[in-house]
Amino acid sequence: MADEELATALKRVLGICGGSGARGCLHVEYQGAGLQIWVSWKIVNSYETPPIVQGQRTVDLVRMIYSIPDPSNPQASLF
C-alpha cells in the first residue's frame, strides 16, 4: 500500500473518535482526522495533551507494527 492508501484505510478504521482504558491499563484515545493517537497511564485529555503520534508518524508506526511494505522502497525486507 502506498502512504495515501494506508492513510485512507487508517482514517476509515479509526473513525471519528474512539478509545479504551481501565484502571491499571493504558488509556488510549484516537481519531481518524489527522490520524491522531493519545496514550497515557491516566485518563487522556485530548483537548489539552498533544497526541503521541499523528499524521505521517502514525502511518510509519503502522507500517512498522504490521510489517506493511512501502512500495516506493526498492530494498526488499530482509526479515
Q: Which grid coordinates belong to 16?
A: 471519528
pTM: 0.82
Tell me the residue range of the domain where 56 lies.
Answer: 3-66
44 within domain boundaries: yes
Looking at the domain assignment, is residue 73 inside a domain? no
Average the pLDDT over 56-62 and give the result.
Answer: 95
33 within some domain: yes
Domain tally for the chain?
A: 1
- The backbone region for 21, taken as left when phi is positive above 0, alpha when psi lies in -120 to 50, beta otherwise, is left
pLDDT tens sequence across 17-58? 999 999 899 999 999 999 999 999 988 888 899 999 999 999
Tell me, yes or no, whether 39 lies in a domain: yes
Q: Is residue 77 part of a domain?
A: no
Grid cell 506493511 is found at 68
